[in-house]
Amino acid sequence: MLPLRSQHTIAKPATVTGFGYWSGKDIQVEFRPADAGTGLVFVRQDIASRPRIAALVANRIETPLRTTLVSNGVSVEMVEHVLAACAGLEVDNCEIWVDQPEMPGCDGSSQAFVDALSEAGIVEQDATRQRLVVTEVTRVGDDETWVEIRPRPKGGLKVKYRLDYGSDNAIGRQTIELKVNPESFRRELASARTFLLESEAEWLRSRGLGTRVTTKDLVVFGDEGPIDNELRFEDECVRHKTLDLIGDFALSGCEIVGQVMAHRSGHRLNAELIRALLAEGEIIGEQRRTA
């Protein structure tokens, strides 16, 4: 097993603006450097007391189609793409100041956040990153949707994701397998966008949700393929589901070492697996948490 790596933060603040897919409101997010051991912490600057919400699975609550965190009655939602960018680039310590309870949707991917963090610069800190080592097979879900993780003696995190929408639509079946590191995340996953079927988009709009979002803001699939848009990858959908998984895994607060296999898994099952791992896995290294 490789030695523990150093923790990282960013060298200077960085800002991303956009609007919320769910609320339709304009939003600004500012990434700020943080001390070693802080972890990833959201700060609601629109509230006078500046409440802090740690990006930990203990703070996650179940909400449809997105990841939401709550602490002391204060929430932030749709955090998975921000968390994926931080985890994918190995930014371990960062304060994420936001002026709304939702993250900006941008283009439906993590690319805007990756660009901002990269522009800010990523720097090593004088502390090691806590590691969660998988020592036995752990699986959650059922025969239709599941995610499991196995030991990986070589170290690192490797993911194989199988997406299956059946053969009667334009998404179909897709599979991706890759070892996750900053280089592969930037190249293979960061720009993969949120997607949904046209019927799902119509259902959301009928309930007054996503009214500001257009087919240019994310990938909406009709019978023949994307509507008014073009794919960035032939298998962009499975890449985005893998991006979501990495964002959800960031809620462990650790570097995870293991081999993941996922079949139609989503946010709920990803979080269930992290809870199981934290209860059963072997954690190496001590790490101070301040939030």
pLDDT tens-digit series, residues 152-211: 999 999 999 999 998 888 999 999 999 999 999 999 999 999 999 998 888 888 877 777
Residue 288 has pLDDT above 50, yes or no: no
**pLDDT level of residue 285 (50, 70, 90 thresholds):** confident
- Taking residues 249-267, report their average pLDDT: 96
Q: Over the stretch 7-41, which tens digit does the pLDDT of each residue have? A: 999 999 999 999 999 889 999 999 999 999 999 99
Q: Over the stretch 59-76, which tens digit does the pLDDT of each residue have? A: 999 998 899 999 999 999
Q: Which two tokens stand for residue 254?
A: 């650790």
Domains of the chain: 6-129 (3.30.230.20)
- Taking residues 74-81, report their average pLDDT: 97
Give percent of the chain with pLDDT exceeding 70: 98
Catalytic residue among 8, 81, 263, 267: 267
16 or 217, which is more confident: 16
Least confident of 2-6, 25-29, 258-262: 2-6
Q: Over the stretch 91-120, which tens digit does the pLDDT of each residue have? A: 999 999 999 999 999 999 999 999 999 999
Residue 291 has pLDDT above 50, yes or no: no
Residue 289 has pLDDT above 50, yes or no: no
Q: What pairs with residue 196 in β-bridges?
A: 220
Q: Is residue 267 annotated as part of the catalytic site, yes or no?
A: yes
* Residue 190 CB partners (closer than 8 Å, separation 6+): 84, 85, 88, 109, 110, 111, 114, 243
What is the overall mean pLDDT for the chain? 94
Handedness of CA 225, 64, 116, 285 (dihedral sign): negative
